[in-house]
Amino acid sequence: MSVLEIDHLNKSYGTLRALKDLTFDVHGGEIFGFVGSNGAGKTTAMRIMLGVLAADSGKVRWDGAELDLEARRTVGYMPEERGLYPKMKVGEQLHFLAGLHGMSPGEAHEAVERWTDRLGVGPRRGDHVQKLSLGNQQRVQLAAALVHNPKVLVLDEPFSGLDPVAVDVMSGVLRERADAGVPVIFSSHQLDLVERLCDRVGIIQSGQIKALGTIDELRTTDAQLWVLDVDADHAAVTEAIGSLPGVTVSANADNARAVTVLAEPSAPPGVDQQVLRRALELGAVREFSPVRPHLVDLFRGVVSADTEAHEAKEVAR
C-alpha cells in the first residue's frame, strides 16, 4: 500500500518557526484531515510537500522514495490561494495543466470533458475563467487538481467558498479517489465536515502535530464525561457531586440547566453509579448520559492548552 510520509519537517521564516519536526503519514485509500488554527503551519506544510517551498530540513517521501519533481507531477494540488489564468478559456486551461502533468493531448481532452462535466462546469468550458462566478472558479480549480488522474491529492481548504451542493460533489469525489487507493490530504476549518469525511485527523498547532488518529481514537478519552440534568440548584449539585474523589463539575455549554461531570481516570470504578445516586438524592434526574467530545472540543482543547502554556511561559519571563 502506498504511503505519503512527512518526516521531521522544519521550516523557519526569519525568527518565526513555522514547522517544528512535523511528522505524520497518510496511507493510500485514506482521507486525512489536516486541522489547525490560522497560522498553525498547514499551508507551509502543504507547499513543502509540493516542492513549492523548500524545507530547512526533513523529507517528504512517497512509497519510500523522496517526492521529487517527477513524482510531484502525479500529485493533484489545490493551493490555498486559488489561481488560474483569468484570461484563458476553462477547457484550454485544464488541457494545458493536464499536459504539464504529463498527459497526452488525447488523454487530456477526454479527462477535461469528464471532470468539467462531473463538477458541473461542462457548459462553461469555452468561457474565460474570469467570467465565472467565484464558486464555479472553485470547481474549475478542483478540476485542475483532478484532471491528470493524480496518485496523491493535496488540497488546501478545498471546501471554502462552496455551496452545499458543491460540498456534496466534492466530498463524493474525495471519497471516490480514496477508494481508488489514492491518499487524500486536505485542510479545513469546517470541523463537522472533517469529522464526517475523514478517516484520520491530524491537529496541528504551532508547526507541530498535537493530536493524530482516527476520529474514534481521538474522541475516546480515558476520562469519562457526562451531561447531568437534575431538578436542583447548580451550587448544590456542584457541592454534592464535586466532593466525590476525582470528579469535577462544570457548567454545560449547550444546556443551561445541565452541568458537565468529568471523572478523572484515577476515579474509582463504578463512579458513574455514585454520581447518579447522589444526583437522585438532590432531586429528579432528567438526563444523565455519557458524552464523547466532538472534534471541535478536541480542537479547542488543543488550541487552548497551547495558548495557556504560551501564556504561562510569558508570565514566567
Partner 1 sequence: MTAHPVWMVARREIKTRMLTKANIISMAVMLLVIVVGAVVLNFFIDQEDEAPTSAIALGQETTALSPHLESAAAQQGVELTLSTIADDDAAAALEAEGEDALDAFVSGDPASPDMLVAEQPDSNALGLVDSAVRSYVITEHIGQLGGDPAAFAEAMAAAAPQVASLETPGEGMEGPAYGISMIAITLLLIALISSGSMIAMGVVEEKTSRVVEILLATIKPAQLLAGKILGVGVYGLFQLAVLGGALVAALTALGLTEDIEVDVGGTLVLLIVWFLLGYAIFALLFGGFAALVSRQEEIGSVTTPLMFLLLTPFYATMFIVPNDPDGATVRVLSQIPIFSPFMMPVRNAFGGVTGLEMALAMGIALATIPMLVWVAGRVYQRGVLHTGGRMKLSTALKG
With CB under 8 A as the contact rule, the residue among 88, 167, 193, 282 that binds partner 1 is: 88
Cβ proximity of 264 and 240 under 8 Å? no
With CB under 8 A as the contact rule, the residue among 41, 79, 183, 202 that binds partner 1 is: 79
With CB under 8 A as the contact rule, the residue among 24, 32, 77, 159 that binds partner 1 is: 77
What nine digits make up the cell of 5? Answer: 510520509
Number of residues that bind partner 1 (CB under 8 A): 29
Alpha-carbon span 177 to 162, nearest angstrom: 19
Q: How far apart are CB 42 and partner 1 at their closest, in Å?
A: 15
Q: Compose the 28-67 pattern: x for residues touching partner 1 by CB under 8 A, - for all others.
A: -------------------x--xxxx--------------
Q: Does 109 bind partner 1 (CB under 8 A)?
A: no
With CB under 8 A as the contact rule, the residue among 11, 42, 72, 125 that binds partner 1 is: 72
Considering beta carbons, is residue 53 or 232 the nearer one to partner 1? 53
Cβ proximity of 124 and 146 under 8 Å? no
Range 135-154, binding partner 1 (CB under 8 A): 144
Alpha-carbon span 12 to 7, nearest angstrom: 16
- Sort residue 262 into left (φ over 0), alpha (ψ -120 to 50) or beta: beta
With CB under 8 A as the contact rule, the residue among 38, 65, 81, 314 that binds partner 1 is: 81
With CB under 8 A as the contact rule, the residue among 39, 83, 181, 283 that binds partner 1 is: 83
Q: Does 69 bind partner 1 (CB under 8 A)?
A: yes
Q: How far apart are CB 27 and partner 1 at their closest, in Å?
A: 22
Cβ-based neighbours of 199, under 8 Å, separated by 6 or more: 30, 31, 32, 178, 214
Name residue 260's beta-bridge partners: 227, 250
Quote the DSSP letter at residue 128: B
Considering beta carbons, is residue 100 or 251 the nearer one to partner 1? 100
Considering beta carbons, is residue 101 or 151 the nearer one to partner 1? 101
What nine digits make up the cell of 210? Answer: 498535537
Q: Does 110 bind partner 1 (CB under 8 A)?
A: no
Segment near partner 1 (CB under 8 A); pick from 25-33, 70-78, 189-197, 270-278? 70-78
Alpha helix positions (H), 65-180: 69-72, 90-100, 105-118, 134-146, 164-179
Alpha-carbon span 221 to 215, nearest angstrom: 12
Q: How far apart are CB 170 and partner 1 at their closest, in Å?
A: 18
Alpha-carbon span 243 to 246, nearest angstrom: 8
Considering beta carbons, is residue 93 or 224 the nearer one to partner 1? 93
With CB under 8 A as the contact rule, the residue among 48, 103, 201, 237 that binds partner 1 is: 103
Query: Is 181 strand, coil or helix?
Result: coil
Segment near partner 1 (CB under 8 A); pick from 30-38, 99-107, 163-171, 301-309? 99-107
What nine digits make up the cell of 257? Answer: 440547566
Cβ-based neighbours of 185, under 8 Å, separated by 6 or more: 4, 26, 31, 32, 34, 46, 152, 153, 154, 155
What are the CA-CA distances from residue 235 to residues 225, 229, 231 (Å)? 19, 13, 12
Considering beta carbons, is residue 96 or 288 the nearer one to partner 1? 96
Query: Rule CB under 8 A: which residues touch partner 1?
Result: 47, 50-53, 69, 72-73, 75, 77, 79, 81-88, 92, 96-97, 99-104, 144
